[in-house]
Every structure is written in C-alpha cells, then in structure tokens.
Amino acid sequence: MKKGALIMSVKNENKPNPSQERRKQFVNSFFGTVPVKIGFAILVIIAFAAIFAPLVAPYDYNKQDLLNTLQAPGKEHLLGTDALGRDLLSRIIYGARASLSVGIVSTIIAGGIGITLGLIAGYLGKAADAIIMRIMDAMMSIPVVILALFLGSILGKGLGNIMLCIGIVMMPGYARMTRGQVLSVKQLDYVTAGKIGGATRIKNAAKHILPNCLAPNLVLATMNLGAAIMVEAGLSFLGMGINPPTPSWGAMVSEGYKYLAKAPHIAIVPGIFIILTVWSFNVCGDALRDATDPRLRGTK
Amino acid sequence: MEHLIEVKNLTTEFQQQKGILKAADGVSYYLDSGEIVAFVGESGSGKSVTQYSGVQLIPCPPGKIAGGEVIFEGKNLLEYKQNGPELQEVRGGKIGIVFQEPMTSLNPVMTIGNQLTESIILHLKLSKSDAKKRAAELLGQVGIPDPETRLDEYPHEFSGGMRQRIVIAMAMSCNPKLLIADEATTALDVTTQAQILNLMQDIVKKTNTAMVMVTHNLSIVARYADRVYVMYAGEIVESGTTEEIFKTPHHPYTIGLMNAVPGLNDPKDRKLIPIHGYVKNLVNRKNECQFMDRCPYATSECKNAEDPGLRAVEGEENHYVACHREIGKNTKVERVFDVSDREYRPFDYAGKTDNDKILKVSDLKVYFPVYKGVLKKKTADVKAVDGLTFDIYKGETFGLVGESGCGKSTAARAILRLNDITGGKVIFEGEDISRLNEVEMRPVRKNMSMIFQDPFSSLDPRQRAGDIVMEPMTNFPGTMTKAQMEKRVDELFELVGLDPSYKDRVPHEFSGGQRQRLVIARSLSTNPDFIVCDEAISALDVSIQAQIINLLEELQDKLQLTYLFIAHDLSVVRHISDRVAVMYLGQMVELADWNELYSHPQHPYTKSLLEAVPIPDPDLEKTKQRQIIKGEVPSPIHRPLGCAFSTRCPYATEECRTMAPALKTMQNGHKVACHRI
Amino acid sequence: MARYILKRLGQSLIVIFIVTIMVFVLMHSLPGDPVKIFLGDSATPEQVEYYTKEFGLDQPLYVQYFSWINGLLHGELGRSITYKLDVKNLMLQRLACTVSITLPAFIIALVIGVIFGVITSVNRGKPKDYVLTSIANVGIATPSFWVGILLVYVFSLKLAILPVQGYVSPTESLTGYLKCLVLPVIVLSLGHLASTTRQTRSSMLEVVSQDYIRTARSKGLSEKTVIYKHALRNALIPIVTMMGGAIGGLIGGTVVIESLFNIPGIGSLMLTAITNKDYMVVQNVTFFISLAVVIANLVVDILYGVIDPRIRVE
C-alpha cells in the first residue's frame, strides 16, 4: 500500500491539542446565554459569602439588640432587623451556609446511594432489578415532605441529620435515572466490543457503562440541589428543620410570618434568596445538559 | 413547452454555529409529467434539501430559502407563506412525498385509516364514509391484504415494508401531479425494495404522475429512471438521460461513483476505485469547485478558477456537466490516490483438509424463549437460528447473505459466544467453544474479533481513539510493556490509513469513514486470526464503502486473516467473498463458490434475491424481464411447517409444505436445501 | 390491554406491601414510648404495664404488624391521642378539606400548564416563549409557603379581600368557603403549573421534530391540525406519566400550605400528629396517603395505555 496516502480529517486541521479544544468548546457552550452567566455569578457570590461568612457578615448573627427590633432596611442594617434586633443581612449570609451545605451534602448522599443502587439494578437485572425498583417505587409513593418529617423525627434535628434525611428522601430519583441509563447503554455496540476485546464483566462495566451513565446524573444533581434546598426550607418553615439559633432561610420566613403586618421584609427577603439560589442552580443545570448533550452526538 | 415543475437557481442555507451552510447552491432543474427523474448523491449532496425546499418543508430557522424560484403549474411556490393555505393545498394535494424511514414516518397513536382519510377529506373534499372507501381502495392497490379491516389498526401492527406501502398510499391518495420518493427504499430489504420500487413505477406510469427518486444507489437509477441529476456538495454537477449518464459520464464525480460501486456481473478481478477523501465542510463555502480536492483529474487551472457552472456536452441533447475540463471515462488521470496494487487470487481449495478449517459450525441452534402472561410462562420459541452447518477455511472470506430476520447476525454473535447456544456445536481453531462460560471463553477471544455496522455506536464516545485501539491489548498483555503497546497502536493506525497523531481525539471528532477505520484498527489489536464483519460497510456513504472494502482486502493479504462477511448488499458480498451462503428464516438454503452462486443459483429464494437486485447498466436493465417475488418473510415465531420458503415459493408442492428439506451437496461443493432440485 | 392492567395491578400490590413494611419499620423507629405518651407524665409503672399489654405492644413485632394489617382491612384504625377520636373518623373529616384544595390545584396546574407549554413550544424563540418560560423557571424555584405569605400580605392584610387563614365549611357559607380556598389553591398549584409548563414545552419540542410531524405537514394539514391533533397527543404521553408523581408532590405540598393557612386537612393533621407523637394517626395516615399515590400512579399508567396503543401490545 502506498505510504503517504494517509487520509486526513477535513475538519480539525492544525489543531494543537484536542482536549484543550474540547474544554474550550464546552465552556463556550455552557456560558452561551445570558441567564447562565447571571445564575453562575449569583452562585459564586453566594458560595463566597457562605464560605467566608465570618469575614463578610457585618454583625454576629445571634447578637440581639432589643432596642432596634423590626427595623426596616436602612443604613445601619442593610436588610433591617428581626424581632430580636438581629441583623437580617448577617442572618441571611449564615443562612446561606446552612442551605448550601445541606443542599450539597444531601445531594452527594442521595447521588451516591442512588447511583450505586441504580447500577446494581440495571446491570444485574432480573430479581435484583425488580426488588430494588419496587423499593424505590414504594419510597416515591410517600410524599417527600412527609417522609422527610418522618425521618426527621427519627433521626432528630441537627444539621447532619437533616442532610442524611433529605439525602435518603431524594435518592430514588437517581436510582431510577441510572438504571434507565444502564439499560440503554448496556446494549450499545461499544459495550459488546469491550466484551469481544476480552474485558472482564467488571472491567467492561467500570470502563464503558459507568462513565456514560454518570453525565445525566450530574445534570440531575444540579437540578436536584435546588429541590433539596427547597425541601430544607420547607422543613425549617414547619419547625422541623435545623435547630435555632443557626439561621435557616426557611425558618426565617416562618419567624417573619408573625410580623407580616408590621415588618413584611423579615419574611419576604429570605424567600427572595431562596428563589435566587434555586433558580441559579436550575439554570446552570439546564445549561450543563445542553452543553454535554449534543457533543456526544457528533456528525456523520 | 411548459414543464410541470421548473426550479431556477434554488439556494437554501442553514445557520450553524460557525457560519452559514449552503446546502443547495443555485440548483436548477425541471420535471415533466409521467417521467421518473433520479437525483443521485451522497450525504451532503443536498438532494433531499432541494426537494423539500420546493414545498418549504425545511425548518426555518435554522434553515432559510435564500433565493431562486420553484415554478409549479405556473406559480412560484416560494412566494407563498410557509405553512400558509396556498402551500397547504399543494402539499398532499398536488405534491406527495414518501420519506425514508417507514418506522417513524407514521403517527404511532393514530390509526392508519385516520391518517389516510384526513388528507383525502382535506384535499378531495369527500365525506367521511367516502373517504374511508377510497382509503381501503388505495390500500388494496398498494398490496395490503384485507384493507377494510386494517384501516382501524395502528402503525406498529405493520412491518416496515407494509408501512412504506401505507405511506405511498397516503402520498398518492389525492392524485398528486408529482411524487417525491426520498430514499424511499433504502431502509428496506432487497426483495421488499424491489416490490416497492416496482409498485411506485406502476402507479406513476398509470396515472402519468411525475416522480422524483432521490437515491444514492446507481443501480436503482439504471433500472427505473428516465433522466438523472447527479448532485455533489449542494450543486448539480451532471445531468442527462440515464443512458447518457451511464454510457458517457463526463463529471469526475459521476465517473468516480461508477468506479467505486461493485455490480452483480463484474469480473472478479475488477478493482474498486474509491473516491479519495471526504466531502468538504460546506460551512462558509468558497466560490470554487467543491470536488477539486478529491478529483483525480484536477489541474492547476481548476484550483485558480471559480465554481464551474453547467454547460452542455457536445453532441448530446440534454446532457449537461459542471466541470472546467473535458473529461470522459477514458481520460488519463492527473493524480493517483490510494490505488491498491493487490492482485486478485482465487482461493485455492485443492488439498484443504479438516486441519485447515478455522471454524466448524454444526447444526447451530439459537432459540429465544417468548414469555407471556403475568406468571411469565414460556409459550413459544423464537427460532432465530435453526440448524446451521458450515465450515470456514483459514484465509478464506466467507460471505453470508440474507434479509432481515434470517438470523445471520444472531448466528455471528453465537459463533463469537455473545449469545448462549441452544443446540449444536461451534468448534473454533480445534476447540469446542459451544458451552464455555465467560471465564473460559476469554482467552479464546484473543483470536477472534468483530467489526460492527454502526461506526457511531460501536465506539465509546468518551474514550480517546488511541485508548480504544489499545484496550483489547491490555486485556491480553502477554509480555508487552506499555511502551510496546503504544508503538503497536501507532502501527495499527498507519495500517488502517489514520494519522497516529489523532490518538488523542474522541470519536465524534472523526468522520464516519474514519470511525470505521478506527473500529477496524481495534479489531486488529490482539492480532486475531478470525474477524466477523457484521454489515461493516452498510452505514457508510457509497464512495467511502469502496475505501473500506479495499482496506479489508489488503489487510487480509497482509495479516492472513479469515473473514466471515455478513451483509445484505449482494454485489459487495460477491466482490469480496470466496464462498457465499444464503440464509432464510434461520436456516441455510444454499452455499456455493461465489461464481457458482451468482451465475447458477439453484434455490428459488436465491434466484428471487438476485432477480431483485438491479445492475448499474441501463441497457441490461431495460431488456431484462424480472420476476419479483411476492409476500413477506414470515415471523420466526410462526415458522411454516416444512420448508420455510414454501409460503412464497412459486414451485412449492405439498411435500415442500410439510417436510423441511435437508442441505444436499451437489457437485463441486454446491449445497442446496430444496426438494425440487 | 387487560394483560397490561393486570401486570401493573400486580406491581402496585407489591409496592403497597413494601410501603406497609416501610411505614411499620419507620413507626417503630420513632423515639419515645407510645404508652407513656398516651398516659401522660403521671403514669404509674403498673398503668404502663397494663396498657402496654392492652395495646398489644408487648407482642413480637411481626404479630403487631399483622394485627395492624388486619385492622386496616377491617377499617379498625385505632384512636388518636391528641383528638380523642377514632382515626378513621378523623381522617374522613379532614379528607374533604384537603381534597377541596388539592383537586382544583391539580386541575389548574395540569390544564393551564399544558396550555402554556403548548404556547411556548409553538412560539419558540419569540417573546411569548421567552416571557412564559422565564416565569416558569422562576416559578419552580419559588417556595410555595413564601408565595403564600406574599399573597396573604397583599390580599389579606393590605387589601383585606380574603381571609388570612382558616376554613369555613361549604354548608355554613358558600362564599366563605370559596374565599378561604382561593389563596391556598393558587399557592399550591403554582409550583406544579410551572413544572408542567416546562415539561410540556420540552415534550412538544421533541415531538415536533419527529418524522411523522414532517409527514403530517407534507400532507398539507393546517398547522393547527398538526400541532393539536398530531403532536399534542404524542407529547401528552410523558406528561401523563409525570402526573402520577405530581400527585405525591401536591399532597406533600398540602402539609405546608395547610399549616400556613391553618386549614384543618390531612396535611396539618400529619404535622400535628408527628409533633405530638400521636402514633396511631401518623402510621395510618401515612399509609393511606401512600396508598392514594400508588392508586393514582396505577390510574395514570392505565391512562397511558389508553393514549399510547403501543403499550397495550406489550
């Protein structure tokens, strides 16, 4: 055969480093629209505030000032004060800590357990699949809030327990999604090719099936983070969430309800922050899905 | 004389991330009533886009019809609003379309009766009951039995071939003046394809409807078309009558196509000459000849000139070509691309013994149980493979043909032990692998591999190309170090014609043909002796297929490989195989040397298969009388008693219907399973 | 079709069975001795021992489980400590209330959500789409209790048209009844309206890119026919599936809404019961709520079979 007759690709000529190119393409696609830029910026700001709360918050979140209760937003207290004279802005910043940490940790727990169960169900099939999926169905039949209340009562209040509780409650979604992915990936030719190439079942699953199931889970996780934060807010609102005096946005709304007539901002402002955070996670989740999807599809 | 439809300078664009893609660039053509006109081209040629632009079926955005006129019955269709009432009248009422994919072209939640009657009521203004009568009539005309009862059924209750007939009935239901068939038979089996094409030809000739046949298959063109437009990269590069195009092609692309496609009556040592390279990326196209880089006749003049327009060919009435030079079949080429210097040698069967057989399959059976009911009781078996017996010699290319449902893929997978074997034996390189479990089978896998049909789904989208090729090696490291493996990956890349610097790319950064080369490289990774090619080229463009076929042949010579070549394209199988076997409904009906099988087929099914395949030679096609077989393949769950083919065989007797024939050996190794021979 | 229904019925029964086990296990993991709670602080050890035997709480767990199941099947659901009523009567009393909020919210979310979803998908990229989709995106990020508080602020405190909270039975005063329901229903439906809109939009967009829609257009059918007759029916399939899960979400939402608006429904009953460790109530109400969700999913699946003929052949 004639050497030198190497067939070159018509696209991708003179590209130095393909992985760099891919990364650049991904970033461009992800930040394509305005809402994502805003959402991502919001998340960065809130995360920064949460992490560096002691440095950023103007006051101690627990410092009561009974002379200055129910103040409207003003120069001294940017967002006003609550019924005990505590600075609302500082409480919001510390509340961000609670919300974000609960959101992230519970999502990790939910994802970790859920994905594992989904993998087992999808890969082993038959009995294991049926049992696991029926249990997931049963869990999903008990409404999230109710199950969370239940588990909360069992585990008790406290940040760690809340995270565990919400994590367990949100787990079935990941299990279902992963199982579905495994089932569809399992029969693709490249998995068969791995087997023909002599890979052991475990190696084939780890190398070919697992990575291709993880991507949609990442998208699900980003969207579910928002949901986890909402659940925590709901629990706190009902008084079943994080212990006071640690501020939680949901609890702050509940506290503020009593003073709705006199000082509506106490109830309304924390809610706005919930909306901003959850919205930002959702928008980034959508963008993540759009950025990862068509890339996998290539062209003929 | 006014034409039925005249398209002038049509330009259709698509807005893409990196720029504007002109899918159709200044296309002009015409059609008259009663003629069948073919639009030939491969992916990216713009042949479908051109037709859809006429009725504005292009999604806008991202598409846009940027210029030109489509004069139909005196009016310019492009002036009408997209999805407006005037255009709606034309669609379905004056112009009917048959699409490529019968499985997805019908609405799954509406009865076919409903789908048929809605356009009849709309365009012909009939009452509901009259429309129903007409719908049943149409179904009968397209060959669907029991049409009245079937009107209330849903698409998923019909096979692919039947669904396509329904779509044809729908397209013709309102007596259109023009029928557009967009790759209407590409997704169908060979015999079904012949039935459907004949059906369409009959209908349009009877009703004097004009028909546009969009296809990449030159042989179909030779058989059915009156005139041809050859398209490349969004432009018409050659046009003329079918005879003119086939006898005296003038455009390098047309000549290239004919050189690259095997025909049923080629001499065996005919070399396939592929068209080098790939279609250019048409985004932000420049004003130059788009075929230049692949053209073996291109000179420096071509490089400096603009995009050539169509000019008339001297001495021929209607023959136009878009080329700066005067090219003919015998013109000397300026450049020679990868021409293989491989000489064809027939496989020498003399003196071969049992020891020379790499694979022995005896009475292979693969059954899949069917479970019904809440308690999951086994009610029947799907007998995908029912008693297959054959041997393959080392270094041979064994071709396996058959239509969908014949079990050829299942058999291949069973041989590679990807399925469990329900009965029979498979002996590979002297070892009985029929009952080996996963662990025992693994060392055997070093010597066998497979090339899949879809280069898309057979490569892990997240793996780098180099790792893909290296992976099988890592499963059988032996004494190789990592560095040695890397070196071998480089060698394999070069062996299949890929630049080793592409090792870090991921699959979607390669084109279809390149991906298939990657798949081939991977299959060679562990230096196997035996490779199963399961429809290895079916998903590729025609001009690329020749590249891969040549590559496979060279590799076989270089590396002493044995191939089991499975395909439904009879011409390709004939070109590459030494012996060929024909399967029908899980059984082998005929097996012979390639020449024997194709020139003296014995089994009625083989004969009907060969009758159904057209040859890219219009003279031969026009004179040949063809017997197109009727009916469809029965379901493997309800096998006929006796011979599986007896339900459709024109020679079937009582004996055929009750007793299954065994595979008899005739002289010179030719085996047939038929009572009537 | 019958086969399909039977199969789904069988699966549902298994799920209900697992639910009972889950609820039972969860119940018995709750801290605190139910007898001591029942008797109060002044209970003597003899009383505790007596009532423990009386309630059968000294029996092994599986016996307790079966006697519970037995009770369920006979309508014997025990007594509430807090309300001193039979749980059965308590639930029935409160059911009407909860249904008054949940049913309208469900219908509003479904109908308006689908309508908005179709509008946005048909007008993709245009202002109508942009505005509605943005609102929907914000909508799913908004906690329902917060919206409730906001609306209470505007309509009850500032404008004084609607009551702040409470519930008036329809037999007492029809207008009073309706006035009480307006805010809770709106608040409960908002989240699901937003997510239904998004779901419908993406489902429609996916359907409209399918081959059979191109075929429908090529037949010259009007855009209206193409969208509403051909596309919508296919797009509804995943939406119907989603509705099953939505019912669970709506019931969960009532816990928060009923608490906010002080409405005596099943949701607030659950909350009070858990806070007061009223175990009989918690156990049985949780079970019946889950039963309702399982039944709803079963109905949804059957509906799915009606819409999509391919499923019936499964």
Q: Average of pLDDT values for A139-165?
A: 83
Length of chain C: 314
How far is it, in rounded angstroms, from Cα B434 to Cα B428? 9
Q: Is residue B11 within 8 Å of B22, Cβ to Cβ?
A: yes
Please answer yes or no on whether C220 and B156 come within 8 Å at the CB atom.
no
C15 touching chain A per CB within 8 A: yes
Q: Which is nearest to A103 in space by CA: A37, A155, A50?
A: A50
CATH number of the domain within which A155 lies = 1.10.3720.10
Residue of C nearest to B180 (CA): C218
Q: Which domains does chain C have, with CATH numbers?
A: 87-313 (1.10.3720.10)
Three-state SS annotation for A216-237: HHHHHHHHHHHHHHHHHHHHHH
- From the candidates C219, C230, C308, C313, which should be mutated to test the interface with B, based on the most B CB atoms within 10 A? C219
Q: Which residue has the tokens 């998923």?
A: B156
Helix%, strand%, coil% for chain A, nearest 5: 70, 0, 30
Tokens of B546: 């020749």
C-alpha span between C132 and C204 (Å, rounded):
15
- The minimal CB distance from A234 to the residues C31, C145, C294 is found for C145
Q: How far is it, in rounded angstroms, from Cα B293 to Cα B305?
A: 14
List the single residue in A with minimal CA-CA distance to B293: A10
C240-284: pLDDT as tens digits: 888 877 888 888 888 888 888 888 888 888 888 887 777 778 888
Q: Report the distance separating Cα B91 and Cα A23, nearest Å.
A: 45
Of residues C99 and B635, more confidence is placed in C99
8 Å CB contact of B109 and C210 = no
Q: Whole-prediction pTM value?
A: 0.85
Rounded-to-integer distance, Cα B199 and Cα B452, Å: 33
Average pLDDT over chain C reads 84
A14 touches chain B (CB under 8 A): no
What is residue B279's DSSP assignment? Answer: P
- Residue B585 CA to residue B410 CA, distance in Å, equals 11
Q: How many CA atoms lie within 13 A of C153 on its CB side?
A: 20
Residue C230: partners with Cβ closer than 8 Å, 6 or more residues away: B107, B110, C212, C213, C216, C221
Which among A143, A151, A283 is the nearest to C249, CB-wise?
A143
Q: In what order do the strands lie in the sheet with B579-584?
A: B448-451, B530-534, B562-567, B397-401, B579-584, B587-593, B671-672, B664-665
Provide, for chain B, the percentages of residues in helix, strand and coil under a 3-state DSSP scheme, each rounded to the nearest 5.
35, 25, 40
Which residues constitute the domain of residue A231? 35-60+95-292
Which positions of chain B have pLDDT values less than 70?
A: 1, 338-341, 373-376
Instruction: Check whether the bond before C104 is cis (ω within 30° of 0).
Output: no
**Dihedral of alpha carbons B272, B277, B281, B282, sign:** negative
- What pLDDT was estimated at residue B375? 61
Residue A151 lies inside a defined structural domain of this protein: yes
**Close Cβ partners of C15 (under 8 Å, ≥ 6 residues apart):** A134, A137, A138, A141, C294
Give the 3-state secondary structure of residue C211: helix
Spell out the residues 6+ positions from residue B52 whose beta carbon is closer than 8 angstroms to its own.
Answer: B58
Q: Is residue A7 part of a domain?
A: no
Kindly list the residues from chain C whose CB atom is less than 8 angstroms away from the CB atom of residue B156: 309-310, 313
Structure confidence at residue B115 (pLDDT): 94
Q: What is the dihedral of CA A145, A150, A154, A160, to 10 degrees?
A: -10
- A residues 4..43 contacting C (CB < 8 A): 35
Quote the tokens at residue B175: 């007596």
Name the residue among C15, C248, C5 with its Cα closest to residue A133. Answer: C15
Across the interface, of B457, B506, B512, the residue whose CB is closest to A188 is B457
> With an 8 Å Cβ cutoff, is C140 touching chain A?
yes
Q: Is A144 on the interface with C (CB under 8 A)?
A: yes
Subunits next to C (3 or more Cβ pairs <8 Å) are: A, B
Q: Tell me if A243 is assigned to some domain.
A: yes
A82 located within any domain: no
* Distance (Å, whole) CA C184 – CA C193: 14
pLDDT of residue B339: 65
What is the C-alpha to C-alpha distance for residues B87 and B453, in angstroms, rounded to an integer?
A: 40
With respect to residue A16, please indicate whether it lies within any of the assigned structural domains.
no
Distance CA A174, CA B647 (A): 51
Is pLDDT of A52 > 60? yes
Task: Give, in degrees to the nearest 5, the angle at Cα B472 between B469 and B473.
Answer: 90
CB distance C192 to C109 below 8 Å: yes
Partner residue facing C26 (CB), from A154, A156, A238: A154
User: Does the CA dihedral C257-C263-C264-C268 come out positive or negative?
Assistant: positive
Q: Would you state the pLDDT for residue C313?
A: 64
Q: How far, in whole angstroms, is CA C216 from its chain's centroid?
A: 38
pLDDT tops 50 at residue A9 = no
Q: What angle do CA A40, A42, A46 make, to 5 degrees?
A: 120
pLDDT in tens, B649-662: 888 888 888 888 88
- Residue B566 sits at φ, ψ, to 5 deg, of -105, 130
Among candidates B406, B402, B437, B443, which has minimal Cα distance to B421? B437
> How far apart are the C-alpha atoms of C119 and C196, rounded to whole Å?
13
> Quick check: B88 and C7 CB within 8 A?
no
**B347-403 pLDDT per residue, tens:** 888 778 888 889 999 999 999 888 776 566 777 788 889 889 999 999 999 999 998
Contact C136, C194 (CB under 8 A): yes
Number of domains in chain A: 1
What is the pLDDT at residue A16?
Answer: 57
Q: What count of residues does chain A have?
A: 300
Comparing C-alpha atoms, which of B475, B413, B482 is closest to residue B442?
A: B475
Average pLDDT, chain A: 82
Tell me the one-letter amino acid at C290.
S
Per-residue pLDDT at A3: 34
Distance from CA of B138 to the nearest CA of C (A): 16
Whole-number Cα distances in Å, B104 to B155, B183, C219 = 9, 14, 16
In whole angstroms, what is the distance from residue B275 CA to residue B296 CA? 9
Closest CA to B187 of B539, B534, B632, B457: B539
Q: For residues C53 and C298, is the Cβ–Cβ distance under 8 A?
A: no
Cα R_g (chain C), whole angstroms: 24
Please tell me the distance from the alpha carbon of residue A222 to that of residue A284, in angstroms, as a whole number: 7
Neighbours of chain A (3+ CB pairs under 8 A): B, C
Confidence class for position C218, pLDDT limits 50, 70, 90? very high
SS3 (DSSP) at C73: helix
Question: Min CA distance, B151 vs chain C (Å)?
Answer: 15
* Predicted local distance difference test score (pLDDT) of residue B350: 79
* Residue A52 covered by a domain: yes
Asked if C145 has any chain A CB less than 8 Å from its own CB, the reply is yes
**Closest residue of chain B to A294, computed from CA coordinates:** B508
C130 has a chain A CB within 8 A of its CB: no
Condensed to tens digits (0 to 9), the pLDDT of residues C38-93 reads: 677 777 788 777 777 776 677 777 888 888 888 888 777 777 767 777 778 888 88
Task: Work out the minimum CA distance from C289 to partner chain B, whole angstroms.
Answer: 28
pLDDT at position A294, please? 52
Q: Which of C23, C152, C271 sits opposite A238 (nearest CB)?
A: C271
Say yes or no for a CB contact (<8 Å) between B475 and A199: yes
Residue A299 lies in a domain: no
**Dihedral sign for Cα atoms in the order B105, B110, B116, B120:** negative
Q: Where are the beta strands (DSSP E) in A36-139?
A: none
- Asked if the structure places residue A87 within a domain, the reply is no
Partners of residue C3 in chain B, C-beta under 8 Å:
372-374
Dihedral sign for Cα atoms in the order B487, B493, B497, B498: negative
State whether residue B236 is helix, strand or coil: strand
Q: Which of B276, B278, B457 to mutate: most A Cβ within 10 Å?
A: B457
Backbone angles phi, psi at B227, to 5 degrees: -130, 160
Interface test with C, best of A135, A137, A141, A232 (most C CBs within 10 A): A141
- Element containing residue B212 per DSSP (H, E): strand B210-215
CB atoms within 10 A of CB C66: 11
Residue with tokens 């047939």: B672
Other Cβ atoms closer than 10 A to C11: 18
Q: Give burial (CB, 10 Å; 0-12/13-18/19+) of A23.
A: exposed
Which two tokens mark B510?
């390669």
Mutation choice for A interface testing from C15, C23, C162 by most A CBs within 10 A: C15
Write the pLDDT tens digit of every residue in B297-311. Answer: 888 888 888 888 888
Tell me the backbone φ, ψ of residue B368, rounded to 5 degrees.
-115, 125
What's the gap between Cα B71 and its chain centre?
33
Cβ-based neighbours of C194, under 8 Å, separated by 6 or more: C113, C135, C136, C137, C138, C139, C140
Select the more confidently predicted residue: B358 or A154.
B358
The answer to whether the CB atoms of A2 and B499 lie below 8 A apart is no
- Summarize pLDDT for C128-155 with one digit per residue, the tens: 888 999 999 999 999 988 998 888 888 8
Contact with chain C for residue B72, Cβ under 8 A: no
CA distance A3 to chain C (A): 45
DSSP-derived pairing of the beta strands B530-534 and B562-567:
parallel
Chain C CB within 8 Å of residue A131 CB: no
- Report long-range pairs for B295-301 (Cβ below 8 Å, ≥24 apart): B295/B252, B295/B253, B296/B252, B296/B256, B296/B333, B296/B334, B296/B335, B296/B336, B296/B337, B297/B252, B297/B325, B297/B327, B297/B331, B297/B333, B297/B334, B298/B252, B298/B334, B298/B335, B299/B325, B299/B334, B301/B325
